[in-house]
Structure 1
Amino acid sequence: MTIPVIDLTDALRPGGARNAEVARQIRAAGEATGFFYVIHHGLDAELLARQFEVAEAVLNLPEADKEAIALKHSKAARGYECIGSQTLDANARPDVKESFYCGIEYPPEHPYVQRGYYSYGANQWPAGLPWVRGQSLAYTEAMCALAQRLMQLMALSLDLPEDYFDHTHGNPMVTLRMIRYPAHPADADERTFGAGAHTDWGAVTLLAQDAWGGLEVQMPDGSWVEATPIEGSLVINLGDMIPRWTNGRYHSNPHRVRNTRSGGAPRYSIPFFYTPDYMARVEAVPGSVPEGTAPRYAPCTVGEHLQEMYRKTYGLQAA
């Protein structure tokens, strides 16, 4: 089994000539692994390239400058995270990667900020790099629009109205994460990964990766397949909310990263995690629960689902 490539030509707008065809392809991918590439996705190549420049600029700052914007200084989970801070696979060693997080800048008076909901609030920006903010916010806006379009195509793939999920997009809980993976340690054992095996927590992840590769996806039979970089593509994977919404019909499969192919160079990747409104309800969509059976997952809000995932990974209580 391989990871399919889906061409979004003529499917980026409601009424697109290829909407039905693309929806069928998304259905097949969702029922298999929840992973697929997209090409001709409408994102400007220069915008993508500039975001990698942001990642390199921020993550190569002196340690003191990165520490000044560390996650511990943010109530909104925005800022720098050092190597070893996260262990995505509980059976592996701490992940060999460092990250910078940012997202939509919700103002202090926004009700979700007032309530202290996790990841809603201000970003932390590095001193001396004034261009980083504007570029990252432009990238976030473009990725948000594409993620919402993918949610519309996913609705079509489930034989639902194209706008079925639109009401969940009011105040999306998005995270733009720039990651730097140093070369895989020479003395690493089999429990050492750049990112340990895990599933993503939200609705859909849009990943831009550099040319080195290193991402691996677990197939239904338990084997691991490389998500080899394809120039101009994004790797899309469905997060854990999608099995909840589809009653297990669509999958959120494990994936992991090892930077063993770069010849000692660092690997950069930029995942964009799209999660709907914190208060949006996540429950089995119409037609997904066979008559006479109960849903496989209990209904919950987006926030309730994510609270549990943060506790499992970080031991944190998310507001």
Structure 2
Amino acid sequence: MSIPVIDLRGAQVPGGARSAEVAAQLRAAAMASGFFYLRGHGLPQPLLERQFALAERLLTLPADTRQALDMRHSPTLRGFENLGAQTLDASARPDLKESFYCGMAYPADHPYVRAGYQTYGHNQWPAEVPEAPAQCEAYIQAMLGLSRRLMQLLALSLGLPENWFDASSGSPMVTLRMIRYPAHPADADARTFGAGAHTDWGAITILAQDGHGGLEVQTPEGDWVAAAPIEGCFVVNLGDMIPRWTNGLYHSNPHRVRNTHSGGAPRYSIPFFYEPDYFARIEAVPGTVPAGEQPRFAPCTAGEHLQQMYRKSYGMDAKTGITATS
């Protein structure tokens, strides 16, 4: 299996001339691995370059600066994550990566912020990088627009009105993560990964990766294939909310990272995780449950889905937690 390349040109806005064609391509990808490359997305290249430059600057700050802004000090778990702090695959060793988390700049009086819901709240910013808040917010807004458009195309791919999912994106849960993977150890065993095998928990992940590669995707047959970088393309994958929304018709497949192609250099990646409004209803959409059958998943809200995943993965019963990675 190869990961398909989908060109968004001609379908970047509702009613675009190629919208039906792109929706059909999305359907095929979603029913296979749930992964595809996306070109023609319209994101300005300078914005992407500034984001990678910012990622490198943040993740090479002095250790004491990063420690002071460790995500464990944040009620919404934003800030820096230490090397080896996360183990995405319980059967593997701790992940060989370090990262910085941030999210949308919701105001302090937003009801979801006041309630302490997942991903709603303050960010932690290092004073040494004063441009970080504005740069990250600009990138988040660009990714949010692209995510909403992909959700519209997913609706079309399911035979639904293009605006079917629009109402679910009132106050979305989004996370921007910048990740630095050190070189893979020469003496690493088979249980050592930059990021262990996992699926993402939300709706859509849009990944920008540098030129080194290292991302691997598991096919429906159980094989692992490389998602090597393609210039001008994002890697997009569907998260676990999409199978719930489609009664299992569309897939959220495992993926992992090993930084073995960089010649000893660190690998940087920037995943953007789109999740709908905390109270968005996640249930099988029309046309996905065969006549006479019951839905495979119980209905829930997006917030309830995330809480279920945190309990399953971390034994947590909290409103906040750590988002998966690519």
After the TM superposition, which residues 8-87 of structure 1 pair with which residues of structure 2 at under 5 Å, given as runs?
Answer: 8-87=8-87
Shift of 1:296: 0.5
Q: Name the CA distance, whole Å, in 2 between partners of 1:312 and 1:272.
A: 23
Counterpart position of 2:322: none
- TM-score of the pair, normalised by structure 2: 0.97
Note the alpha carbon deviations across 1:210-229, whole angstroms, 9 max, x for none. Answer: 00000000001100000010
Counterpart position of 1:317: 317
Q: Name the CA distance, whole Å, in 1 between partners of 2:119 and 2:242.
A: 20
Q: Name the CA distance, whole Å, in 2 between partners of 1:318 and 1:169.
A: 22
Contact 1:87 1:313 in 2 (8 A): no
Decide which moves more: 301-310 or 171-180.
301-310
Counterpart position of 1:168: 168
Note the alpha carbon deviations across 1:269-290, whole angstroms, 9 max, x for none. Answer: 0000000001111000001000
Shift of 1:312: 3.3
5+ residue gaps, structure 1: none
Shift of 1:314: 3.6
Matched, 1:178 2:174: no
Matched, 1:265 2:260: no
Counterpart position of 2:211: 211
Shift of 1:310: 2.1
Shift of 1:92: 0.6
Secondary structure of the 1:156 match is helix
Note the alpha carbon deviations across 1:185-221, whole angstroms, 9 max, x for none. Answer: 1221101100000000000000000000000000011
Alignment-mate amino acid for residue 162 of structure 1: E
Matched, 1:305 2:291: no
Q: Name the CA distance, whole Å, in 2 between partners of 1:203 and 1:99.
A: 21
Alignment-mate amino acid for residue 8 of structure 1: L
Shift of 1:317: 2.7
Counterpart position of 1:89: 89
Shift of 1:50: 0.5
Counterpart position of 1:222: 222
Counterpart position of 2:245: 245
Q: Name the CA distance, whole Å, in 2 between partners of 1:310 and 1:181.
A: 24
Q: Name the CA distance, whole Å, in 1 between partners of 2:281 and 2:86.
A: 28
Q: Name the CA distance, whole Å, in 1 between partners of 2:11 and 2:21.
A: 9
Secondary structure of the 1:275 match is strand
Alignment-mate amino acid for residue 118 of structure 1: Q
Decide which moves more: 308-317 or 266-275.
308-317
CA RMSD in angstroms, aligned pairs only: 0.8
Alignment-mate amino acid for residue 297 of structure 2: Y
Alignment-mate amino acid for residue 157 of structure 2: S
5+ residue gaps, structure 2: 320-326
Runs of 4+ in structure 1 deviating by more than 4 angstroms, as ranges, are none
Alignment-mate amino acid for residue 38 of structure 1: L
Q: Aligned residues: percent identity?
A: 68
- TM-score of the pair, normalised by structure 1: 0.99
Note the alpha carbon deviations across 1:126-175, whole angstroms, 9 max, x for none. Answer: 12111111111100000000000000000000000000000000010000
Alignment-mate amino acid for residue 64 of structure 2: A
Contact 1:86 1:313 in 2 (8 A): no
Q: Name the CA distance, whole Å, in 2 between partners of 1:124 and 1:178.
A: 14
Q: Name the CA distance, whole Å, in 1 between partners of 2:188 and 2:315.
A: 26
Counterpart position of 1:293: 293
Q: Name the CA distance, whole Å, in 2 between partners of 1:202 and 1:179.
A: 18
Counterpart position of 2:101: 101
Q: Name the CA distance, whole Å, in 1 between partners of 2:104 and 2:240.
A: 22
Q: Name the CA distance, whole Å, in 1 between partners of 2:194 and 2:177.
A: 15
Q: Name the CA distance, whole Å, in 2 between partners of 1:61 and 1:314.
A: 29
Note the alpha carbon deviations across 1:63-120, whole angstroms, 9 max, x for none. Answer: 0010111111111121100011111111111100001000101122111111111211
Secondary structure of the 2:173 match is coil
Matched, 1:195 2:172: no
Matched, 1:119 2:114: no
Q: Name the CA distance, whole Å, in 2 between partners of 1:269 and 1:305.
A: 26
Q: Name the CA distance, whole Å, in 1 between partners of 2:261 and 2:299.
A: 42
Q: Name the CA distance, whole Å, in 2 between partners of 1:99 and 1:232.
A: 23
Shift of 1:313: 3.4
Alignment-mate amino acid for residue 161 of structure 2: P
Secondary structure of the 1:236 match is strand
